């Protein structure tokens, strides 16, 4: 088997606001495996500024993988333990090499018989821009919307109040993602305000790493709390278990590129379910290559909740998509 990679810079159609600033582009790496005339493609979707493996020797580790591609899988996994996005790309490429075409996980989804319900994502911005995005999602038929908050809570709260006045919780499920934007004291107030508006859940109200603060919030919160960034960088099984037992969140959110690919996600799901913790899967600004693989994997997990998958529509220079959004349903193109 032979392996090669190329660096690719995805350009946003419109600068995208997050709690970490405004994003203009997104770097990624495409890994290709070749064997006996067959090809497998995967995306090593490093997320600069967020990925645990955003390190100066990232590309060196990718070169190492390509040079050692024929080593035992267990050896590769151990070497790449600290590089979850590279391992994620490897797992994709191996799956694609096995099935060919654009297939990673054959199912009724890849046969075009079933779809995945997703939430509509609202990017941060001024009130006018956020309301414009919300209106667009509602017109497209979304019943679950996720808003990024934690930059200007006063304005964000008003937007949520307006939404709830127009749409009851039976008509519209609202999720929010704070990206660690609040202090523990602020979070206590915000959690109650969200509960008053019947918000489904809040992701990462306080910064990752504050297990005790998060545990105290989760123990008494009137709004379900989901861990997101909190999972990043934890590669040891015992520590994963310890986190969930300590914090006892209502949900965890899995970004395969950030938590060790499909195998890493499988482990988190198993641990969460054993402790009766809910979960869903979210993409992390992958290109259409990684997004296609995540969507196919997500379908096989049979989670009926709306999933946090993107559509690839954010970038001007994305690869051709194998996915198609119809209303709030993500379909595989046949």
Q: What angle do CA 178, 292, 315 make, to 5 degrees?
A: 60
- Identify the CA nearest to 277 among candidates 302, 314, 323, 245: 245
Do residues 95 and 145 share a domain?
Answer: no
Do residues 83 and 126 share a domain?
Answer: no
Do residues 81 and 173 share a domain?
Answer: no
Do residues 274 and 199 share a domain?
Answer: yes
Whether 190 is covered by a domain: the verdict is yes
Do residues 83 and 150 share a domain?
Answer: no
For residue 259, the SS3 value is coil
Do residues 57 and 9 share a domain?
Answer: yes
For residue 54, the SS3 value is coil
Q: What does each C-alpha distance from 46 to 28, 100, 108, 257, 287 come to in angstroms?
A: 6, 24, 30, 7, 11
Q: Are strands 323-326 and 278-281 parallel, antiparallel or unpaired?
A: unpaired
**pTM score:** 0.94
Residue tagged 């590309």 (tokens):
59
How far, rounded to the nearest angstrom, does the alpha carbon of residue 101 sit from its chain's CA centroid? Answer: 24
Do residues 30 and 155 share a domain?
Answer: no
Do residues 218 and 283 share a domain?
Answer: yes
Q: What does each C-alpha distance from 299 to 154, 183, 223, 280, 296 come to in angstroms?
A: 37, 36, 27, 11, 5
Conformational region of residue 253, where left means phi above 0, alpha means psi within -120 to 50, and beta covers everything else = beta
Q: Which residues contact 156 (CB under 8 A, 6 or more apart)?
A: 130, 147, 149, 150, 176
Q: Are strands 144-148 and 21-35 parallel, antiparallel or unpaired?
A: unpaired
Compute the distance between CA of residue 321 and CA of residue 130 in angstroms, rounded to an integer: 26
Do residues 36 and 124 share a domain?
Answer: no
Whether 106 is covered by a domain: the verdict is no
Range of the domain at 76: 2-99
pLDDT tens track, the chain, 334 positions: 999 999 999 999 977 655 556 778 899 999 999 999 999 999 999 988 778 899 999 999 999 999 999 999 999 999 999 999 999 999 999 999 999 999 999 999 999 999 999 999 887 777 788 888 888 999 999 999 999 898 889 989 998 998 899 889 999 999 999 999 999 999 999 999 999 999 999 999 999 999 999 999 999 999 999 999 999 999 999 999 999 999 999 999 999 999 999 999 999 999 999 999 999 999 999 999 999 999 999 999 999 999 999 988 889 999 999 999 999 999 999 9
Instruction: Provide the token pair at 104.
Output: 């990673």
- Supply the CATH number for residue 293's domain: 3.20.20.120
Residues annotated catalytic, as ranges:
148, 255
Residue tagged 């997104």 (tokens):
26
Do residues 178 and 322 share a domain?
Answer: yes
Do residues 92 and 159 share a domain?
Answer: no
């Amino acid at each position: 088997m032979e392996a090669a990679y190329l660096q690719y810079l995805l350009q946003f159609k419109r600068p995208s606001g997050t709690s970490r600033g405004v994003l203009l582009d997104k770097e990624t790496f495409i890994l290709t495996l070749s064997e006996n005339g067959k090809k497998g493609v995967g995306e090593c979707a490093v997320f600069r500024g967020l990925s645990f493996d955003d390190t100066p020797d990232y590309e060196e580790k990718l070169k190492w993988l390509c040079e050692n591609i024929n080593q035992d899988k267990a050896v590769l996994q151990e070497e790449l333990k600290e590089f979850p996005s590279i391992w994620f790309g490897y797992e994709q490429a191996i799956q694609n090499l096995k099935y060919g075409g654009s297939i990673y996980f054959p199912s009724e989804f890849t046969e075009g018989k079933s779809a995945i319900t997703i939430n509509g994502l609202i990017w941060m911005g001024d009130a006018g821009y956020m309301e414009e995005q919300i209106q667009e999602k509602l017109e497209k038929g979304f019943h679950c919307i996720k808003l990024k908050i934690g930059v200007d809570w006063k304005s964000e709260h008003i937007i949520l109040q307006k939404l709830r006045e127009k749409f009851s919780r039976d008509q519209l499920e609202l999720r929010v993602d704070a990206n660690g934007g609040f202090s523990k004291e602020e979070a206590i107030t915000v959690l109650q305000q969200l509960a008053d508006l019947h918000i489904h859940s809040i992701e990462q109200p306080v910064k990752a790493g504050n297990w005790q603060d998060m545990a105290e919030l989760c123990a008494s919160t009137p709004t379900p709390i989901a861990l997101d960034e909190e999972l990043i960088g934890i590669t040891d099984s015992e520590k994963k278990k310890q986190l969930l037992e300590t914090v006892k969140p209502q949900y965890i959110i899995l970004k395969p590129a950030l938590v060790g690919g499909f195998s890493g996600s499988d482990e988190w799901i198993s641990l969460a379910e054993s402790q009766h913790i809910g979960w869903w899967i979210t993409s992390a600004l992958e290109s259409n290559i990684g997004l296609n693989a995540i969507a196919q994997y997500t379908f096989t997990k049979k989670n009926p909740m709306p999933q946090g998958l993107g559509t690839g529509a954010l970038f001007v220079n994305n690869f051709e998509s194998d996915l198609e959004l119809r209303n709030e349903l993500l379909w595989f193109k046949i």
